[in-house]
Structure 1
Amino acid sequence: MPAETTTSVTDLPADNPFARPSALPYGLPDFAAIRTQHLRPALDAGLAAQRQEWEAIAADPAAPDVANTLEALERSGQLLHRVATVFFTLVSAVGDEEVHAIDAEYAPRLAAHRDALWLDGRVFARLEHLHGSREELGLDAETDWLLTTYRKNFLRAGIRLDEEQQQRLRDVNAELVSLETTFSQRVVTALEHGAVHVPDAGALAGLDEGTLAGLARAAEERGAGTGYLLTLQLPTQQALLTQLQDRGMRDRLLQASQDRGTGVDADSDTRAALLRIARLRAERARLLGYEHHAAWVAEDGTAATTDAVNAMLRRLARPAARNAEAEAQDLQHLLDEDPQVPAGPTLAAADWAYYAERLRKERFAFDDSVLRPYLELDRVLHDGVFFAAGQLYGLTFHERTELRGYAEDVRVWEVREADGTGLGLFVGDYYARAGKRGGAWMNNLVDQSGLLGLAPVVLNNLNITPPPAGEPTLLTWDEVRTCFHEFGHALHGLFSDVRYPSLSGTAVPRDFVEFPSQVNEMWMTHPVVLERFARHHRTGEPLDEELRAAVLSLGSYGEGFATSEYLGAALLDQAWHQLSPEEVPEKPADVRGFEVDALERVGLARATVPPRYRSTYFNHTFGGGYDAGYYSYIWSEVLDADTVEWFRDDGARNGDGGLNREAGDRFRTALLSRGNSQDPLRSFRELRGRDAALKPLLQRRGLTD
């Protein structure tokens, strides 16, 4: 483990677990020793230590060189990074009141801390000196890219603004992070307060015994008393809508989902915060010389311009809406023929998932309730996700039960290369819990870095409903997809092979980061992989031919709805962030009207297909991270679909569909190992031999004419 470069670590008491690098394998944080009371002093010491390090760089009388400027910047902040990584993991995955209080307290301080670097003209002057001396310095490609990246980031952060403008920028940045924190916390509160309590099982016809037992357990554990608690998931659509036979119950559940953040519950009303966030982001963009916030974001991605983003989204909107209309007609027929529904109703948004599931059963013989007994979590992981990684990359996975996570059900595996060499750690947190934010995500607990001598420790989070005690964890097909997707991110982090920590793993542009994870989804339907993991949890029997055919026959069915709901959210994100400060609505009551107008302009204001996220619980964009960048998923899918075609054609050997070491190693070397050490599109071209084509995506989603 490399030595710390700061003396401020000694300001921490010796019994604070952050006072020194973790002694656990691969630097895994010592969660067993970490307590909430350790966080504030460690954050304070980390902030102070990095400020000292930055000051030493800025005031260094020696002429700037790679070691005293670039490498010094990369070495700085090791204590802060160590504690912040743990802290933000706890914010997302545990989220108790004290952790949320610390988050709210430190958000503006961390923003001011970042500004202390990006607005320091002395450090920028050293970078400018290096930039002007690039030819004489003879920099290697990665160091040259790092220098270019730092310089770009300083310029985008406002280094050339005058003193008054920089002060306003600092104020805006501090307020924004506080508001984003408030928004995120209220989204979590809305998930909890919006849960639907049902006193008896009569209204829950269609749910199997295992699901009912889980809902009863949720009611008991979350203090709702007797009965059943239908907890909410982050997206608009809720998984239980596919099974609930009672039309009124379906409507109640979907309404609870869409009402989140709208003021029906004062503690989780997000409207004032989101309006202020949109206005401040627009002001900051103008201050920095951009037309709007979306333009500032796009410039830093592979899209480069909002014109390119708008053109892509609008090109897809019309065929997606057309396909959704055709799907709606099919579902209306099923509703008309349903003997349990009085004659004459029109298909509603709450009906869509239910009748789409029935249509899948009738047309494709696909039934999630029949499939679930074959999708047990451990088998999906070991014989599906891990097996595919072994076939492609030679990896093996060894559970380290002696290593603790931050919650009781967090698990740790050591990942080894084919020759037995340790690669890093993979941490899995698969279950939902009170305080955990919705959705699924990956993050690093330790960033790989040759400079710092660090191997990666990566974390996957999902939100699977825990089963009753002693029962197996059975997944839906979509949850299996999420396991493969998030592990694609994990591979991107695990395979990182770069020198500089700020360029490590998934530290790529937003509209590129989803690409490797989406590619990894392809292996869930590979015949060899499917045969291994899709086995009955009691008998071990594989899927029979009818079920296997059903899984593989879906093709692009349902993509009209799926693409439309996704595009609805992506276009809302762009609509909010392509406003000037003066154009942002003033009143919270205006939020819903703004949404309707924005969706009508692109032909996606369909009542039966609400956006995947409405503005009031759109944590991707107003909680920070994917603001003006939710388009990234479809943008990355262009690269993904083209790469899947490469695996199945050029990468295949003897009809194996690309599931071989040669194809896997090439994908790893050309792309997964690169991190952000060069232009990501250059990495793609090195793999594919050309730029990405749109046709494979259009064919996959059934959007061709």
Structure 2
Amino acid sequence: MRKSKLLATTMIAALASACTTMEEGSMNTPAALPDTAEYNPDIPEATSIFAELSPLYMHAPQFDQIEDSEWQGIIEEAIAIQLAEIEAIAENPNPPTFDNTLVAMERSGQVFSRAYGAFSQIVSANINDTIAMTDEELAPQVAAMTDSIYLNPQLFARVKAVYDNRAAMSMTPEDAMLLETTYDEFVHRGALLGDNAQTELRQINERLSSLSSQISQRITTGQNNASIFVDDRAMLSGLSEGQIASAAAAAAEAGRDGEFMLNVSNTTGVPQLAQLDNRDVREMLYKASINRNQSGEASTLPLIQEVVALRNRRAQLFGEPSHANWQMYDRMVSDPAAAIGFMSDMVPALRATQEREAAVLQARIEEDGHDFTLAPWDWQYYASKVRAERYALDNEEIKQYFVVENVLEDGVFYMAEQLYGLTFEERTDIPTYHPDVKVYTVFHDGEEQALFYFDPFQRESKRGGAWMSNFIEQSHLLGLKPVVTNTQNIAPPAAGQPALATWDDVTTMFHEFGHALHGIFADQQYPSLSGTNTARDWVEFPSQFHENFAAVPEVLQRYARHNETGEVIPMELVEAIDRASKFNQGHSFGEIIAASLLDMEWHSLDPSQPAPTDVMAFEAEALERIGLRSDLVPPRYRTPYYRHIFEHGYDAGYYAYTWTEMLHHDAYSYVAANGGMTREMGDHIVNTFLGQGHSKTYEQMFRDFTGRDPRVEPLLEARGLIPEDDDVTGVDGAEGEI
């Protein structure tokens, strides 16, 4: 979620002085350079619809005014303007100061930020052939622009001069953080390298950006192509009538009337595997999921091999022992060995759990009179049976209480009102990029605070997963309030049926809204320090923290109402959900740790050695080294469709989900011990970390909230990894292992 200082995959503006707020009407003029010599640099004038701030409410993007074919020209013009603005700063004849260098950089790139923020969301959430081709053309140009900024020797000389004089300067804490992070970013991106190394670095970065775009598109294609078709309705036994109707409708849309289409998910695991009674269909669906993107036009293997080789070469240019060492320079956990150790310490206990759970599931198979051996496509099916028997829990029954609109408006929004004083008003006057998208004005204690977009449903034009992004970054310098969006991939309803969410969908909705709140409550002078512009292993903390409120009884009773009867979810079902949350950890936590360590295996390679040429062979060897039962519980993402680390910026960073899970469980234990979901607690959350962006160190923000350093025990308790009176959920010796 963290973005580069001067540009972003979502929305970045520029940097600024900590004293004044810029008037909106002056935002499109070049940065004023208040120095002794008169200086009037020539900046090209923008001509696109993004030349000026949008006239819509809170400057929301005018999606209805842009044809797909126009995007390339719009972005290329914005790149040219950004480069001209940066060159003007670099060539300023006046001595470098914080204002005429750092602040001027923060003011630069506003046309690019507006345009690229809107375009990036379309690429991710409503792609077509024209947009895909445009993205592939633009990706290396954006990378080249980034390098032209950070490898500009005159610009870096000015930044370094200000940085070297910092002890003699009077700065606010946010000024000081801006200066430090900007200088570090220049060094990280090669400002201290020699000319030959910088030339090679530019070539590597351009190629990597092009490969990232191609990999992203192939992963989406591979997911769509992996869908399976079933021609016998009886083979779908176990699915609900609504699911079967949706499968029939999807097949008909694909031109196969009379059949049923089952889609694979963004992750290795497919939800229907827990329901399908027919073992052959389960196996077919599982293999379609796990083997995608390995052959044909959607194969990512040669692209991934090249990415790894290029990342290793870049690490070598910087003299780093691995790509992970280069990548993790600004993290809360900056040492790859520490991240690996944090997760590896859990492996023995997790493997023991997987072995015990597998034995329980094998016994359950035999109880049904079968003589086959547990296979990965059986795990979730029989785990679901054991869960139902032990905890009286039926996932399909649970879904009936989670109507998507109710979860959002009566659950997520209610939580935000009780904790933070936020209220929401749906708008119908803001154009969107797809009919599924809803838009809301966000009020804080009655005052307009932000604009929020919500895009819930899966479609072929949307990449998998869920995410938050910004169309407009908050900045006091630029006088801008946040415009943020949440995107999910909830299964769309069949015609005439209600849109129902799984419990995972519900917690994801609270999770992504936690990211949104991180943007909504941004209160920074400088856009590059605003809101979610933080390290990978911090940005997931506010989002995971807010998952906890999905299960607060007061919140549940508001949104969890049966779609037919309106009955509030029974407390015994809520209690079963809570008990079952510690069930099946060998699978649910094991697949995450396996994926996290697989990421580190790829990015801890010695850059002086050739990169692996056989991607799948390396993955198999890496999983063997990791030591979990990946034959039964595969990683959450296998290498060919591991979008997080090959396209989405989480390379050497997927561990962040587990690291921040530790932070959020510990932080929520503080909430539970200090009054729970109250407005006083909400103000404390905002004042200590949620509204702080990157204006402070991450360690300081956590200590400001809890009064201490983070503890791992609440994570172990929440995951059921501290032994309990349950012979399936506990992990022998877990407490001593970690």
**What range is the shorter-chain TM-score in?**
over 0.9
Paired letter, 1:597: E
1:680 to 678, 688, 698: 698
Name the CA shift for 1:584/1:217 in 2 (closer, same or farther; >3 Å): farther
**Residue 314 of structure 2 is aligned to residue 279 of structure 1:** no
Return the letter of the residue paired with 2:701. Answer: S
1:332 equivalent to 2:362? Answer yes
The yes-or-no answer on 1:669 pairing with 2:687 is: yes
2:15 aligned partner = none
Structure 2 residue identity aligned to 1:214: S
SS of 1:398's equivalent?
A: strand
Q: Does 1:507 align with 2:525?
A: no
Give the aligned partner of residue 63 of structure 2.
Answer: 31
1:283 and 1:580 in contact (8 A); partners too = no
Instruction: Find the counterpart in structure 2 of residue 618 from structure 1.
Output: 642
Query: Which residue of 2 is the match for residue 255 of structure 1?
Result: 287
TM-score (norm 1): 0.96
Q: Contact conserved, 2:515 with 2:532, CA < 8 A, in 1?
A: yes
Task: Say which of 601, 617, 628 aligns to 2:625.
Answer: 601
- Cα contact 1:302–1:511 (8 A) shared by 2: yes
Give, in whole Å, the separation in 1 of the partners of 2:43 and 2:87.
13
In the alignment, which of 552, 569, 581 is matched to residue 526 of structure 1? 552
Deviation at 1:221, TM superposition (A): 2.3
| Residue matched to 2:238 | 206
TM-score (norm 2): 0.91
334, 354, 376: which one aligns with 1:304: 334
Contact 1:94/1:436 (8 A) holds in 2 = yes
Partners in 1 of 2:610 and 2:696 — Cα distance? 37
The 3-state SS of whatever aligns with 2:306 is helix
Cα distance in structure 2, aligned partners of 1:553 and 1:9: 62
Using the alignment, how far apart are the partners of 1:452 and 1:217 within structure 2? 48
Q: Is 2:419 the partner of 1:392?
A: yes
**CA deviation map 1:553-605 (0-9, x unaligned):** 22411222111111111111100111134545553xx2222112112212114
1:83 counterpart (95, 98, 115)? 115
Tell me how far apart the structure 1 counterparts of residues 683 and 44 of structure 2 sit (CA, whole Å). 41
Q: Which of 558, 565, 568 is equivalent to 2:584?
A: 558
1:8 touches 1:45 (CA, 8 Å); kept in 2?
no
CA contact (8 A) 2:45 2:81 kept: no
Q: Distance in 2 between matches of 1:355 and 1:628?
A: 34
**SS at structure 2 position matched to 1:218:** helix
| AA partner of residue 526 (structure 2) | Y
CA contact (8 A) 1:280 1:581 kept: no
Query: What residue number does 2:168 align with?
Result: 136
Aligned with residue 221 of structure 1, among 226, 234, 253: 253
Is the 8 Å Cα contact of residues 594 and 630 (structure 2) preserved in structure 1?
Answer: no
Q: Report whether the alignment pairs 1:425 with 2:462.
A: no
Distance 1:484 1:365 in 2: 25
The aligned residue for residue 400 of structure 2 is 373
Q: How far off its partner does 1:11 sit?
A: 4.4
Q: 1: distance between equivalents of 2:547 and 2:308?
A: 34
Counterpart Cα distance in 1 of 2:256 and 2:196: 53
Instruction: Quote the Cα distance in structure 1 between the aligned partners of 2:597 and 2:710.
Output: 23
| Matched residue SS, 2:197 | helix
Residues 370-404 of structure 1: per-residue CA shift (max 9 Å, x gap):
11111111111111111011110011011112222
Quick one: which amino acid aligns to residue 514 of structure 1? E
Whole-angstrom distance in 1 between the partners of 2:156 and 2:394:
59
Q: Distance in 1 between matches of 2:515 and 2:576?
A: 28
Q: 1:407 aligns with which of 434, 442, 447?
A: 434
Retained in 2: the 8 A contact 1:384–1:529?
Answer: yes
Question: 1:127 — aligned with what?
Answer: 159
Residue number in structure 2 paired with 1:696:
714
Pair 1:60 & 2:84 matched:
no
Q: Secondary structure at the match of 1:397?
A: strand
Task: Report the CA distance between 1:524 and its aligned residue.
Answer: 1.0
Separation in 2, partners of 1:595, 1:41: 41
Amino acid at match of 2:471: L
Aligned to 1:360: 387
Does residue 160 of structure 1 match 2:192? yes
Distance between the aligned counterparts of 1:525 and 1:545, measured in 2? Answer: 11
| Preserved contact between residue 365 and residue 371 of structure 2 (Cα < 8 Å) | no
d(CA) in 2 for partners of 1:538 and 1:402? 31
The answer for the alignment partner of 1:639 in structure 2 is 663
By how many angstroms is 1:38 displaced? 2.4
**Separation of aligned partners in 1, 2:359 and 2:507:** 28
2:654 to 630, 650, 653: 630
Cα distance in 1, alignment partners of residues 263 and 501 from structure 2: 17
Cα deviation code 1:446-479 (max 9, x no counterpart) = 1000110000011100011211222211111111
Asked if the contact 2:354–2:629 (Cα under 8 Å) also holds between the matched residues in 1, the reply is no
**CA distances 1:318-362 after superposition (whole Å, capped 9, x unpaired):** 2112112221111111111124xxx32111100011111111110
Q: CA deviation at 1:638?
A: 1.4
Structure-2 residue corresponding to 1:323:
353
Mapped contact 1:262–1:271 kept (Cα < 8 A): yes
Percent identity between the aligned chains?
Answer: 40
Q: CA RMSD in A?
A: 1.4
Do residues 476 (structure 1) and 494 (structure 2) align?
Answer: no
* Structure-2 change in CA distance of 1:561 and 1:503 (3 Å): same
> Once the two structures are superposed, what CA deviation does each residue of 1:45-79 show, in whole Å capped at 9, x if it has no partner?
11111111111100001111122111110010100
Question: In the aligned structure 2, how far is the partner of 1:177 from the partner of 1:188?
Answer: 17
Letter of the aligned partner of 1:237 in structure 2? G
**Partners of 2:476 and 2:525 within 8 A in 1:** yes
Is 2:591–2:634's contact at 8 Å kept on the other side of the alignment? yes
Higher mean alpha-carbon deviation, 186-195 vs 552-561, is at 552-561
Name the counterpart of 2:469: 443
Which stretch has the larger CA shift, 454-463 or 328-337? 328-337
Moved more, 323-332 or 84-93: 323-332
Corresponding residue SS for 1:382: helix
Q: Deviations over 1:17-62 (max 9, x none)?
A: 2232111111110112122122122112111111111111000011
Which residue identity is paired with 1:128? Answer: K
Deviations 1:142-200 (A, max 9, x none): 01110100100011111111111100000000111111111111000001111111123
Question: Does the 8 Å CA contact 1:397/1:414 hold for their aligned counterparts?
Answer: yes
Higher RCO, Cα 8 Å, sep 6+: 2
The Cα offsets for residues 229-287 of structure 1, whole Å up to 9 and x where unpaired, read as: 11121100001111100001000000000111111xx1110111101101100110110
Contact 1:404–1:410 (Cα < 8 Å) also in 2: no
The CA distance in 1 between the partners of 2:645 and 2:245, in whole Å, is 35
Provide the residue aligned with 1:567 in structure 2. 593
Deviations 1:592-644 (A, max 9, x none): 22112112212114311001000000000011410111111001111111101
Equivalent residue, structure 1, for 2:11: none
Contact 1:536 1:542 in 2 (8 A): yes
Aligned-partner SS, 2:441: strand
Match of residue 605, structure 2, among 579, 596, 621:
579
Q: Aligned AA for 2:643?
A: N
Q: Is the 8 A contact 2:69 2:130 kept in 1?
A: no
Partner of 1:151: 183
**Counterpart contact for 1:181–1:623, Cα < 8 Å:** yes
Partner residue, 2:298: 268
Deviation larger for 480-489 or 467-476: 467-476
